[in-house]
Amino acid sequence: MERMPLSEQLKLLPEKPGVYMMKNESGKIIYIGKARSLKNRVRQYFQSSRNLTGKVLSMVSQIVDIELLTTDTEVEALILESNLIKKHRPKYNIRLRDDKNYPYLKLTVQDKWPRLTVARQVKKDGAKYFGPYTTTTAMWDTLKLSRRLFPLRTCNRVEAHTRPCLQYHIGRCLGPCIKDFDRHADYDQAVRDLTLFLEGKSEDLVRRLRQRMDEAAEQLQFERAAELRDQLKAVEFVTQQQKIASVSLEDQDAVGFAQNESDACVQVFFIRGGKLMGREHFILPGAGDMSGPEIMDAFLPQFYHEAAFLPREILVQDLPDDTEVIEEFLRQRRGGPVHLHRPRRGEKKDLLRMLADNARLVLEERRVQQDRDLEATAQGLSDLQEALDLPHPPVRMECFDISHMQGSEVVASMVVFEGGRPKKADYRRFKIKHGMGNNDFLSMAEVIRRRFRKGLDERAALADSGLLGSSDARQEAKFADFPELLIIDGGKGQLGAAREVLRELGLEHIPTFGLAKENEELFREGHPDPMVLPRGSHALHLLQRLRDEAHRFAITYHRKLHARAATHSVLDDIPGVGPVRRKALLRHFGSVAAIRRATPQEVAEVEGIGPELAEAIKDHVGGGGHPAR
């Protein structure tokens, strides 16, 4: 269908709340925004350019189409915007690292015998979540200490145990798996104490532990009193490490930021019971010219979209433009009022000033580190040019690696570095198809042939359409860009297989080297002796990073396929048997072996399985059960 001209689309904009998605010539979404009035907000982009930043002007110049999604309320628009940004990851939106990458501690209070585990995602399953922990070290330290202080079970299923495990015998579990277990009150108390500890309410916990210790001593339960004493000392030690951030003993988050000429850094302090429990910073690339309210508008909904805990008050350096809408969104997430407060004076103002100072320090340290990395990378590329006798520094480098386990699930990876940095959007994975098992030479030849033949086809298609020089079109073509340096993970054999394919495709001009891991030797076609780059050189370090990334990427893919194969069922391959029918069969019979023993008539009795499909299932799974014919 022919696209409506942008000028006509602007005339039809509704005066309703909703979300707008800006698209470029190739149909790719480059920006997603929300609006109280779509008509007023979207038109602002195409009126006077005097108030638009350079980043926005660049974006507007690429817009050829706008897709709208109307909502009933502004809060619905805000939630929809946040979800769509996560899904599409538009170029011009501020994006935070997905919360699912951060670990949480999960207390399964919905279980009869709750336990503390690690979770990567917050679910509405009745459990209590604590976090996110922005460093895995902090999370594992907290988990280790919690399990030492609060003796809850660590096993998956209590009923699966016929006798207590080692955790019980060393005093780390109360042993709910024991027959006639009678310490229900102690278990419940441990759950309550752990909750207080993870919520940062250490004073309450210390007071209760001291009271229970004194009561145990008065009742001459000296062993129990000693246990409580040790627990009390450990909790008091942790409490002393936490810095007082507020004399008001409130639960608060504090959000401040700093900017340089290109980026912004948002710093968050997590204050629980008046104590600083943790901190985190987020770099917002391209936000250097945004206003404070714009930064808060973009940051707060994304950060709190899946937060496990929301305090009643959030201190902010600047109030967002849509304060009321964001507060309503946070209220719905928390199930209670949340107030965004910009303090004008006093200790809260001082706290935000400290946040901004911390954020400025992070930006400066990041700039210095980037300058060092850039200098080292530039030196590495220059050294590679000289050492490998290349016509110019290799801006785009590709590396290929083969991974398998005893010849099964053979896969290959292709990773790309541009300007000495990973370009993950161009990474590719291949499942080897030759079927010859563990043959690295044949596998390398196959993946090189598939990669470059596809690239040649894409180049031909772009040339035929006149789009060969279009940057957007080249982005959509997955293999059209060719490397200026090709690295093969392996020695002479793998290198020879790759070079033979490149000659076959007319691409023998691409500089190609084999990198053998054992002695970090570089092999080049036509040279019998390997080349060894100086240890510790920028050039060798760059090639090692490229090779190690290719190995990591291949191993990750191989493990994924291997895990999938391990859980594969013969039922998965039967036409007409989808997930629902498969579950129904296994629920009815208990195993594939039982289905093999069953007759077609018995299989047909399962809900959703008729006589014809039952015959097909029996023919596929084999086994007995067929009546004599």
236 within a domain of the structure (yes/no)? yes
The confidence band for 406, taking pLDDT boundaries of 50, 70 and 90, is low
The confidence band for 239, taking pLDDT boundaries of 50, 70 and 90, is low
Q: What's the half-sphere exposure (Cβ side, CA atoms, 13 Å) at 302?
A: 21
Range from 325-334, 458-467, 488-497, 552-561 carrying the lowest mean pLDDT? 552-561
**In whole numbers, what is the pLDDT of the chain averaged over residues?**
83
61 within a domain of the structure (yes/no)? yes
End-to-end CA distance of the chain: 59
Which residues make Cβ contacts (< 8 Å) with residue 269, sequence separation at least 6?
A: 245, 253, 254, 276, 278, 279, 351, 355
Query: Could you tell me if 362 and 267 are in contact, meaning their C-beta atoms sit under 8 angstroms apart?
Result: yes
Reported as a single tens digit per residue, the pLDDT across 242-259 is 454 554 557 889 999 999
413 within a domain of the structure (yes/no)? yes
pLDDT recorded at residue 629:
37
From CA 202, how far away is CA 275, in angstroms rounded? 10
Q: How is 484-519 classified by DSSP, letter by letter?
A: SEEEEESSHHHHHHHHHHHHHTT-TTS-EEEEETTT
Choose one of 227, 244, 261: the last residue of a domain: 244
* Residue type for position 55: K
CATH of the domain at 574: 1.10.150.20
Domain count, the chain: 5
Choose one of 532, 558, 584: the last residue of a domain: 558
How big is the chain by its Cα radius of gyration, in Å? 31
Reported as a single tens digit per residue, the pLDDT across 434-483 is 777 678 899 999 999 999 999 999 988 888 777 666 655 556 677 889 99
Mean pLDDT of 72-83: 89
From CA 573, how far away is CA 216, in angstroms rounded? 63
Residues 458 and 528 in one domain: yes
65 within a domain of the structure (yes/no)? yes
Check residues 497 and 469 and name the one with the higher pLDDT: 497
Reported as a single tens digit per residue, the pLDDT across 105-128 is 899 999 999 999 988 777 778 888
Closest CA to 534 of 379, 393, 395, 373: 379
Run of H or E including 428: strand 428-431
pLDDT recorded at residue 486:
96
The confidence band for 61, taking pLDDT boundaries of 50, 70 and 90, is confident
470 within a domain of the structure (yes/no)? yes
Residues 238 and 297 in one domain: no
* Residue type for position 25: E
* Residue 267 pLDDT greater than 70, yes or no: yes
Mean pLDDT of 290-317: 89
**Strand (E) positions, 343-407?**
396-405
482 within a domain of the structure (yes/no)? yes
Mean pLDDT of 137-162: 79
pLDDT recorded at residue 215:
84
Cβ burial 166-194 (10 Å sphere, 16+ → b, else e): ebbeeebbbbbbeeeeeeeeebeebbebb
Reported as a single tens digit per residue, the pLDDT across 330-384 is 999 888 999 999 999 888 898 899 889 889 988 988 888 888 888 888 888 999 9
Residues 553 and 580 in one domain: no
Q: What percent of the chain has pLDDT over 70?
A: 88
Q: Which residues pair with 431 in a beta bridge?
A: 411
Q: How is 113-155 classified by DSSP, letter by letter?
A: S-BEEEESS--SSS-EEE---SSHHHHHHHHHHHHHHS--B-S
Closest CA to 436 of 445, 428, 427: 445
Mean pLDDT of 576-584: 82
The confidence band for 415, taking pLDDT boundaries of 50, 70 and 90, is very high
Place of tokens 């206003």: 291
Residues 223 and 357 in one domain: no
Q: Which alpha helices (DSSP H) does 466-604 contain, by range?
A: 471-476, 492-504, 538-566, 579-589, 592-597, 600-604
Closest CA to 553 of 446, 342, 400, 435: 400
pLDDT recorded at residue 512:
95
Residues 15 and 61 in one domain: yes
The confidence band for 93, taking pLDDT boundaries of 50, 70 and 90, is confident
∠ at Cα 423 (417, 429), nearest 5°? 95
From CA 79, how far away is CA 55, in angstroms rounded? 24
Check residues 232 and 241 and name the one with the higher pLDDT: 232
Q: Is the pTM of this model over 0.75?
A: no
From CA 174, how far away is CA 152, in angstroms rounded? 6
What is the SS3 assignment for 264-320? EEEEEEEEECCEEEEEEEEEECCCCCCCHHHHHHHHHHHHCCCCCCCCCEEEECCCC
22 within a domain of the structure (yes/no)? yes
Q: Containing domain of residue 262, as a range?
A: 252-364
The confidence band for 628, taking pLDDT boundaries of 50, 70 and 90, is very low
∠ at Cα 260 (254, 261), nearest 5°? 145
pLDDT recorded at residue 100:
45
Closest CA to 13 of 40, 50, 46, 51: 40
Q: Which residues pair with 38 in a beta bridge?
A: none
Closest CA to 251 of 304, 309, 177, 173: 309
